[in-house]
Amino acid sequence: MANTNIEGGSQRFETSSAIETVLAGNKPPWRPKVAGYVALILGPIAGALVAAASFRSMGQPRKAHQTVFYTLLLCIAFLIPFILGIPAGAPIKKIIVLAVEGAGYSVFPSLVREDYVNWKASNPGVKPRNDYASVGWGVFGALMYLTIAALIAAFRG
Protein backbone atom coordinates (compact mmCIF):
# COMPACT_ATOMS: atom_id res chain seq x y z
CA MET A 1 0.00 0.00 0.00
CA ALA A 2 1.20 3.47 -0.75
CA ASN A 3 0.11 6.54 1.18
CA THR A 4 -0.76 9.06 -1.51
CA ASN A 5 -2.08 11.87 0.66
CA ILE A 6 -0.14 12.76 3.79
CA GLU A 7 -1.59 16.24 4.19
CA GLY A 8 -4.48 17.05 6.48
CA GLY A 9 -6.59 14.53 8.30
CA SER A 10 -7.60 12.20 5.52
CA GLN A 11 -5.39 9.60 4.01
CA ARG A 12 -6.08 7.68 0.85
CA PHE A 13 -4.38 4.38 0.19
CA GLU A 14 -3.94 2.86 -3.25
CA THR A 15 -3.49 -0.84 -3.72
CA SER A 16 -2.87 -2.87 -6.79
CA SER A 17 -2.91 -6.58 -7.34
CA ALA A 18 0.26 -8.41 -8.24
CA ILE A 19 -0.82 -9.03 -11.84
CA GLU A 20 -1.59 -5.33 -12.37
CA THR A 21 1.83 -4.43 -11.03
CA VAL A 22 3.54 -6.85 -13.40
CA LEU A 23 1.41 -5.79 -16.34
CA ALA A 24 2.12 -2.12 -15.62
CA GLY A 25 5.85 -2.83 -15.72
CA ASN A 26 6.58 -1.58 -12.21
CA LYS A 27 8.67 -4.60 -11.30
CA PRO A 28 11.96 -5.44 -12.95
CA PRO A 29 12.09 -8.50 -15.22
CA TRP A 30 13.64 -11.83 -14.37
CA ARG A 31 17.01 -12.78 -15.77
CA PRO A 32 16.63 -14.58 -19.12
CA LYS A 33 17.72 -17.96 -17.82
CA VAL A 34 14.85 -18.04 -15.31
CA ALA A 35 12.32 -18.65 -18.10
CA GLY A 36 14.51 -21.53 -19.30
CA TYR A 37 14.73 -23.13 -15.87
CA VAL A 38 10.97 -22.83 -15.39
CA ALA A 39 10.36 -24.36 -18.85
CA LEU A 40 12.74 -27.22 -18.06
CA ILE A 41 11.14 -28.03 -14.71
CA LEU A 42 7.47 -27.09 -15.20
CA GLY A 43 6.90 -27.21 -18.96
CA PRO A 44 6.92 -24.94 -21.99
CA ILE A 45 3.77 -22.98 -21.16
CA ALA A 46 5.21 -22.15 -17.74
CA GLY A 47 8.40 -20.88 -19.38
CA ALA A 48 6.37 -18.83 -21.84
CA LEU A 49 4.41 -17.18 -19.03
CA VAL A 50 7.61 -16.23 -17.20
CA ALA A 51 9.12 -14.88 -20.42
CA ALA A 52 5.90 -12.94 -21.11
CA ALA A 53 5.92 -11.41 -17.62
CA SER A 54 9.52 -10.34 -18.21
CA PHE A 55 8.61 -8.82 -21.59
CA ARG A 56 5.76 -6.87 -19.97
CA SER A 57 8.09 -5.63 -17.25
CA MET A 58 10.44 -4.38 -19.95
CA GLY A 59 7.63 -2.58 -21.78
CA GLN A 60 7.19 -5.15 -24.57
CA PRO A 61 3.53 -6.24 -24.33
CA ARG A 62 3.35 -7.32 -27.98
CA LYS A 63 6.26 -9.73 -27.58
CA ALA A 64 4.62 -11.04 -24.41
CA HIS A 65 1.39 -11.82 -26.25
CA GLN A 66 3.23 -13.39 -29.17
CA THR A 67 5.31 -15.59 -26.87
CA VAL A 68 2.29 -16.98 -25.07
CA PHE A 69 0.17 -17.32 -28.23
CA TYR A 70 2.79 -19.18 -30.28
CA THR A 71 3.77 -21.37 -27.35
CA LEU A 72 0.13 -22.38 -26.82
CA LEU A 73 -0.25 -23.17 -30.52
CA LEU A 74 2.93 -25.23 -30.63
CA CYS A 75 2.05 -27.09 -27.44
CA ILE A 76 -1.36 -28.03 -28.78
CA ALA A 77 0.17 -29.02 -32.13
CA PHE A 78 2.72 -31.16 -30.25
CA LEU A 79 0.36 -32.72 -27.72
CA ILE A 80 -2.29 -33.90 -30.18
CA PRO A 81 -0.09 -36.41 -32.06
CA PHE A 82 1.98 -37.12 -28.93
CA ILE A 83 -1.00 -38.17 -26.83
CA LEU A 84 -3.26 -39.58 -29.53
CA GLY A 85 -0.72 -41.10 -31.90
CA ILE A 86 2.03 -42.66 -29.81
CA PRO A 87 1.11 -45.69 -27.67
CA ALA A 88 1.17 -45.10 -23.91
CA GLY A 89 4.01 -47.52 -23.13
CA ALA A 90 6.34 -46.51 -25.96
CA PRO A 91 9.85 -45.71 -24.67
CA ILE A 92 10.22 -42.96 -27.28
CA LYS A 93 7.75 -40.85 -25.27
CA LYS A 94 10.30 -40.23 -22.50
CA ILE A 95 12.91 -39.11 -25.02
CA ILE A 96 10.43 -36.77 -26.73
CA VAL A 97 9.40 -35.23 -23.40
CA LEU A 98 13.05 -34.58 -22.51
CA ALA A 99 13.63 -33.01 -25.92
CA VAL A 100 10.65 -30.67 -25.51
CA GLU A 101 11.74 -29.63 -22.01
CA GLY A 102 15.29 -29.08 -23.25
CA ALA A 103 14.01 -27.00 -26.15
CA GLY A 104 12.14 -24.76 -23.72
CA TYR A 105 15.31 -24.44 -21.64
CA SER A 106 17.19 -23.05 -24.63
CA VAL A 107 14.47 -21.17 -26.54
CA PHE A 108 12.94 -18.92 -23.88
CA PRO A 109 16.20 -17.41 -22.58
CA SER A 110 17.27 -16.66 -26.16
CA LEU A 111 13.95 -14.89 -26.79
CA VAL A 112 14.29 -12.66 -23.73
CA ARG A 113 18.05 -12.07 -23.74
CA GLU A 114 18.32 -9.19 -26.25
CA ASP A 115 15.51 -7.16 -24.68
CA TYR A 116 16.89 -7.88 -21.21
CA VAL A 117 20.34 -6.60 -22.19
CA ASN A 118 18.76 -3.42 -23.58
CA TRP A 119 16.63 -3.00 -20.44
CA LYS A 120 19.66 -3.57 -18.20
CA ALA A 121 21.65 -0.95 -20.14
CA SER A 122 18.89 1.63 -19.70
CA ASN A 123 18.38 0.73 -16.00
CA PRO A 124 21.91 0.13 -14.69
CA GLY A 125 21.11 0.40 -10.97
CA VAL A 126 18.08 -1.88 -10.97
CA LYS A 127 18.49 -5.52 -10.02
CA PRO A 128 16.40 -8.22 -11.71
CA ARG A 129 13.57 -9.86 -9.79
CA ASN A 130 14.22 -12.75 -7.46
CA ASP A 131 14.24 -16.00 -9.43
CA TYR A 132 11.91 -17.69 -6.95
CA ALA A 133 9.20 -15.11 -7.59
CA SER A 134 8.59 -16.84 -10.93
CA VAL A 135 7.22 -19.95 -9.23
CA GLY A 136 3.63 -18.65 -9.34
CA TRP A 137 3.70 -18.19 -13.11
CA GLY A 138 5.44 -21.53 -13.43
CA VAL A 139 2.85 -23.46 -11.45
CA PHE A 140 0.04 -21.74 -13.36
CA GLY A 141 1.70 -22.66 -16.67
CA ALA A 142 2.20 -26.27 -15.57
CA LEU A 143 -1.47 -26.51 -14.64
CA MET A 144 -2.44 -25.06 -18.04
CA TYR A 145 -0.20 -27.59 -19.80
CA LEU A 146 -1.68 -30.50 -17.85
CA THR A 147 -5.22 -29.25 -18.48
CA ILE A 148 -4.63 -29.07 -22.23
CA ALA A 149 -3.09 -32.55 -22.18
CA ALA A 150 -6.07 -33.91 -20.20
CA LEU A 151 -8.54 -32.37 -22.64
CA ILE A 152 -6.70 -33.91 -25.59
CA ALA A 153 -6.46 -37.27 -23.80
CA ALA A 154 -10.23 -37.22 -23.25
CA PHE A 155 -10.63 -37.62 -27.03
CA ARG A 156 -8.53 -40.78 -26.97
CA GLY A 157 -11.62 -42.61 -25.82
Range of the domain at 113: 19-154
Q: Extract the runs of DSSP E, i.e. beta strands, from the chain.
A: 2-3, 13-14
User: Is 25 part of a structural domain of the chain?
Assistant: yes
| Residues 6+ away with beta carbon under 8 Å from 120 | 126, 128
**13 occurs within a structural domain:** no
Give 124-147 pLDDT, tens digit per residue: 889 999 999 999 999 999 999 999
Q: Which residues contact 103 (CB under 8 A, 6 or more apart)?
A: 44
Does residue 82 lie in a domain region?
A: yes
Mind listing the pLDDT tens digit for each residue in 22-54? 455 478 999 999 999 999 999 999 999 999 999
Q: How many domains does the chain have?
A: 1
pTM above 0.95, yes or no: no
In a domain, 74, yes or no: yes
Q: What share of the chain is helix, strand, coil (3-state, %, to 5)?
A: 70, 5, 25
Domain membership of residue 3 (yes or no) is no
Weakest mean pLDDT among 9-13, 57-61, 106-110, 119-123:
9-13
